[in-house]
C-alpha cells in the first residue's frame, strides 16, 4: 500500500491525458482545462518533461528570449512494436508514439507453423528492427499483435481459430513476456485493420466499418470510437452470414449460402472456372479484371452486390459513417465497390445513408501494422501506464 501523497501522480496523469493528442498547449490552457492551480500545472509539466513524455514546443506567440511556453507529447519518448500476422506473412514494425513507422519488415511466414516458431521469428525481427532504429528494449511501451482468427482480447489468447493450427488458447502475451517485459495486446487482424484505417485516414470518425475481402471475408467495427469485439471476440464475422443468391452453395464452415462461399477471391475464381476461364485464386481474378475480362468484371460486380447485401444489415444495425473496403480483392478497383454501393444505397433507409461514405481503404496493406501500432500506443499512453512510469 502506498503511503505517498496522491497529489503528484493523479495530477500528472490527468495533465498527460490532455497532452497526448500531440497538440501544443500553454500552462494557462492546461490550468483552464483541468481546473488545477497554475502552480500545480507548472510542477506537473516539469515532472512530465523529466520523464521525457512531454517536450517544449516553440509556439507562434513565443517571443525571442523567453523560455518556450507551449508543451506537447514527445512522440520519441517511447516506441511500440506492431505485428501483423497473416495466413502466410509476418510484418513487424517499430512505431513512435505519433504512429509513424520508424522501421518495418515483412517476411513470408506460414501461420500454421504454430505459435512458438512464428513468435520466435517476431522476437528476432523486432530485435533487428529496434537495433536499426537505434532503440533498446527498455524504450518499448507496448506490443500490438494482429492474428488471422478470433481472439479473447482480455487474455490475448486465440479462440478456435480455423486457419491457425496449434494456436488455440495459446498464451501469446505470456510467451512474449519471456523475451520482452512489456504489455502485449492481441486482437483479430481485421479489428486491427479497422483501427489502422481510422488512424490513417479518418482519425475523427467514431463509427467505421472496415471490410477485408480476400481469401476470406471479415469486418472490423469501430462504434463510438471503440472496437466492437463481442462476447467471444468474434464480432464482425460477416463471412458466414447467408446471402439470398446462393442458398445452395456449400461453405467451409459446414453451412450453405455464406457470403464467403460466394464473394471471396477463391469463390469468384471458382465461378469463373465454371464459365471456362483460367482462374485458380483471387489474384487470377484481379488479373483478369485488369485485362478487361467482361466475365470477371461481372463476377466481381456481383460479389460486390453480395457483400452489399450483408453490409445493408450492418448499416441498419451500426449506422456507421464510413465503410472502407480493403483486402487483396480490393485491388480490382471500382467494380467491387460499385456492387456494394448499388445494394447498400438501394436498400438502406435514407437517414442511415445520408452521410455514409463507402470507400476504398486508404491504409490498404499498411492497415494491419498501423492498427497494431495504434492498439499498442493506446495502451502505452493510457492513465494506468503513465501512472506506473510516474511512480517509477
Q: Write down the least CB distance from residue 104 to a copy of itself, Å.
A: 31
Residues in the chain: 392
- Cβ neighbours for 324, distance < 8 A, ≥ 6 positions apart: 194, 197, 201, 202, 208, 209, 210, 211, 359, 360, 361, 362
**Closest CB to a copy of itself among residues 272, 310:** 310
The DSSP output letter for 324 is: E
Pairing of strands 208-213, 322-326: parallel
Report yes or no: 324 and 311 within 8 Å, Cβ to Cβ. no
Distances (CA, A) of 177 to 123, 164, 181: 11, 21, 5
Output the smallest distance, CB 312 to a copy of itself, in A: 7
With beta carbons less than 8 A apart as the criterion, state whether 376 and 143 touch: yes
Shortest distance, CB of residue 172 to a copy of itself, whole angstroms? 18
CB of residue 219 to a copy of itself, shortest distance in Å:
7
The Cα 20–Cα 13 span in angstroms is 10
Cβ closest to a copy of itself, residue 100 vs residue 232:
232
Neighbours of 360 (CB within 10 A): 14
Comparing CB distances to a copy of itself, the nearer of 240 and 270 is 240
Grid coordinates representing 128? 533487428
Q: What value, to the nearest 5°, has the Cα angle with vertex 379 and ends 29 and 15?
A: 15
Least separation in angstroms between residue 215's CB and a copy of itself is: 17
Residues in touch with a copy of itself (CB under 8 A): 1-7, 9-11, 14, 31-32, 34-38, 40, 150, 159-160, 206-207, 219, 221, 223-224, 226, 228-238, 240-242, 244, 253, 255, 310, 312-314, 316-321, 347-349, 351-352, 354-356
Quickly tell me which residue has 469486418 as its cell: 219
Q: Which is nearer to a copy of itself, 297 or 315 (CB)?
A: 315
C-alpha–C-alpha distance, residues 80 and 2, integer Å: 29
- Residue 81 or 261: which CB sits closer to a copy of itself? 261
- Helical pair 294-318 and 265-274, crossing angle rounded to 10 deg: 140
Q: Which is nearer to a copy of itself, 245 or 335 (CB)?
A: 245
Cβ of residue 106: shortest distance to a copy of itself, in angstroms? 29
15 sits in which H/E element: helix 7-19
Cell of 334: 471500382
* Residue closer to a copy of itself, measured from CB, 164 or 279: 164
Contact 197, 361 (CB under 8 A): yes
Inter-CA distances, 369 with 171, 241, 313, Å: 21, 27, 29
Nearer to a copy of itself, 223 or 298 (CB): 223
Residue 138: helix, strand or coil by DSSP? helix
In the complex, least distance from residue 287 CB atom to a copy of itself, rounded to whole angstroms? 31
Q: In angstroms, rounded to a whole number, what is the distance separating the alpha carbons of residues 8 and 16?
A: 12
Residue closer to a copy of itself, measured from CB, 34 or 283: 34
| CB of residue 202 to a copy of itself, shortest distance in Å | 12
Nearer to a copy of itself, 139 or 152 (CB): 152
Amino acid at each position: 500500500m502506498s503511503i505517498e501523497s496522491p497529489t503528484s501522480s493523479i495530477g500528472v496523469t490527468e495533465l498527460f491525458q490532455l497532452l497526448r493528442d500531440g497538440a501544443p498547449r500553454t500552462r494557462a490552457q492546461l490550468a483552464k482545462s483541468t481546473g488545477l492551480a497554475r502552480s500545480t500545472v507548472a510542477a506537473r509539466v516539469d515532472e512530465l518533461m523529466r520523464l521525457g513524455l512531454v517536450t517544449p514546443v516553440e509556439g507562434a506567440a513565443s517571443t525571442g528570449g523567453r523560455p518556450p511556453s507551449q508543451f506537447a507529447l514527445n512522440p520519441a519518448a517511447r516506441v511500440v512494436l506492431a505485428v501483423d500476422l497473416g495466413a502466410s506473412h509476418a510484418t513487424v514494425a517499430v512505431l513512435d508514439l505519433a504512429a509513424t513507422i520508424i522501421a518495418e519488415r515483412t517476411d513470408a511466414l506460414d501461420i500454421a507453423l504454430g505459435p512458438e516458431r512464428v513468435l520466435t521469428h517476431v522476437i528476432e525481427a523486432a530485435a533487428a528492427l529496434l537495433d536499426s532504429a537505434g532503440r533498446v528494449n527498455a524504450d518499448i511501451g507496448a506490443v500490438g499483435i494482429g492474428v488471422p482468427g478470433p481472439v479473447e482480447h482480455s487474455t490475448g489468447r486465440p479462440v478456435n481459430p480455423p486457419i491457425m493450427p496449434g494456436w488455440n488458447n495459446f498464451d501469446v502475451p505470456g510467451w512474449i513476456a519471456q523475451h520482452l517485459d512489456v504489455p502485449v495486446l492481441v486482437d483479430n487482424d481485421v479489428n486491427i485493420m479497422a483501427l489502422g484505417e481510422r488512424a490513417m485516414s479518418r482519425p475523427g470518425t467514431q463509427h467505421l466499418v472496415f471490410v477485408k475481402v480476400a481469401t476470406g471475408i471479415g469486418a472490423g467495427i469501430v462504434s463510438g470510437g471503440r472496437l466492437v469485439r463481442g462476447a467471444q471476440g468474434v464480432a464482425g464475422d460477416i463471412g458466414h452470414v447467408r446471402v439470398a443468391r446462393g442458398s445452395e452453395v456449400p461453405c467451409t464452415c459446414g453451412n450453405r449460402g455464406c457470403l464467403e462461399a460466394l464473394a471471396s477471391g477463391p469463390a469468384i475464381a471458382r465461378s469463373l472456372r465454371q464459365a471456362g476461364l483460367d482462374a485458380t485464386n483471387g489474384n487470377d481474378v484481379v488479373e483478369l479484371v485488369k485485362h478487361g475480362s467482361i466475365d470477371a468484371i461481372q463476377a466481381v460486380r456481383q460479389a460486390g452486390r453480395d457483400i452489399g447485401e450483408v453490409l445493408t444489415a450492418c448499416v441498419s444495425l451500426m449506422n456507421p459513417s464510413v465503410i472502407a473496403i480493403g483486402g487483396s480483392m480490393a485491388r480490382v478497383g471500382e467494380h467491387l465497390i460499385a456492387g456494394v454501393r448499388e445494394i447498400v444505397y438501394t436498400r438502406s433507409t435514407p437517414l442511415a445513408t445520408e452521410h455514409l461514405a463507402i470507400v476504398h481503404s486508404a491504409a490498404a496493406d499498411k492497415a494491419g501494422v498501423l492498427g497494431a501500432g495504434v492498439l499498442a500506443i493506446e495502451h502505452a499512453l493510457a492513465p494506468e501506464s503513465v501512472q506506473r512510469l510516474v511512480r517509477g
